[in-house]
Structure 1
Amino acid sequence: MSTKNTNEPRQVEHIGFAAGVMTYSIASGLILAGPIAGWIDGSLATGLWWGVLTFPIGIGLAVSTYGWRWEEKRFQAAGIAATAEILAVNRIQDSDEGQGTAELTVRISGPGFDPFDAGCEVPIGGVRPQVGDQRAVMVERSNLTFAIGYGHLFQQH
């Protein structure tokens, strides 16, 4: 029986507590938009129209936020600090807001697991990623999920 993990590596996203509170608040506002609009207008039709439009979006955002927060807690408990070396910069997508993204191929290595190659997407600020650069990552070695670009995970509590 092989001890090598056969799962495919997968990048996960998660958010911190403050961002979680903010997105849950936005989701709540979207969920309640229909009843509030109907109450303000005094019309059931207005409430239904707004509810049909915003309720599913609010539910989707709440479910996504729950997943992001769950991943964060799991990584806080079981994540291992590792290093990702950039093997290839596949694509850089600039944004008008100044926060673009880069699609990378990286080799992740660290204690307690065999090195593996994976594709990932990272935000880019002022410094564009180059082949050979290294980034700090967190790895959950039981299923080879990893988070890159989340410096708050490395703070010791």
Structure 2
Amino acid sequence: MSGSDREPRQVELIGPVAQVFTYSIAAGLMLLGPVLAWTGDSLWSGLCPAIITFPIGVAIAVTTYGQRRDAKRFRAVGVISTAEIVAVRIRKGGEDPDVAELRVHISGPGFDMFKADCEVPAGIPRPRIGDRLQVVVDPSDCTFAIGYDHLFERD
């Protein structure tokens, strides 16, 4: 395996609709300060909110760009594979949904089996040891994505 010297890593992906939505939110956050300064009484009325909202907007835009870049890469070179769950730990979410922290063995065509840690929503039914999940793997760097059904459809 060419990526065996790298640590396996789970990636999050988003689709084109979510991309438009998150870029819109990012633009709104980045423009909030200048709009308030222009429509307000002074430059300070826009500068104060911009100190907080502008960096958040930039971070959202950068994250979205990375997720879309990964989605395009997985669409082009991703290998449909299987992840077998070998350990499960449920982390209570409190107000947020519970999260299942998994230890999986990922195997598929064109690369050696590797072990990885990942997280998935702990829905109903909860993940159990021995369950198999469908994943998409980029064998060049051992990155993988779980639960993105649109990547499993091949033309």
Query: Does structure 2 conserve the Cα–Cα contact (< 8 Å) formed by 1:4 and 1:114?
Result: no
Cα distance in 2, alignment partners of residues 148 and 26 from structure 1: 26
Task: State the number of aligned residues.
Answer: 155
Task: Confirm whether residue 154 of structure 1 aligns to residue 148 of structure 2.
Answer: no
Relative distance call for 1:60 and 1:85 in structure 2 (3 A) is same
TM-score, length-scaled by structure 2: 0.93
Q: Which has the higher contact order (CA 8 A, sep 6+)?
A: 2
Q: Could you give the per-residue CA deviations for residues 13-48 of structure 1, whole angstroms, max 9, x where no partner exists?
A: 111111111110000000000011112213211011
Partner of 2:14, secondary structure, is: coil
Q: Could you give the per-residue CA deviations for residues 38-88 of structure 1, whole angstroms, max 9, x where no partner exists?
A: 122132110111111110110011001101110100000000000000000
TM-score, length-scaled by structure 1: 0.92
Which residue of 1 is the match for residue 66 of structure 2? 67
State the 1:4 CA deviation: 7.1
Q: Which runs of 4+ in 1 moved over 3 A?
A: none
State the 1:3 CA deviation: 5.7
Unaligned runs of at least 5 residues, structure 2: none
Task: Confirm whether residue 50 of structure 1 aligns to residue 26 of structure 2.
Answer: no
Q: Could you give the per-residue CA deviations for residues 113-139 of structure 1, whole angstroms, max 9, x where no partner exists?
A: 111110001113221100000100000
Which residue of 1 is the match for residue 8 of structure 2? 9
* Residue type at the aligned position of 2:140: S
* Residue type at the aligned position of 1:28: A
Cα distance in 1, alignment partners of residues 83 and 23 from structure 2: 31
Cα distance in 2, alignment partners of residues 113 and 44 from structure 1: 57
Task: Confirm whether residue 103 of structure 1 aligns to residue 101 of structure 2.
Answer: yes
Percent of residue pairs bearing the same amino acid type: 52
Cα distance in 2, alignment partners of residues 148 and 108 from structure 1: 11
Unaligned runs of at least 5 residues, structure 1: none
Which residue of 2 is the match for residue 145 of structure 1? 143
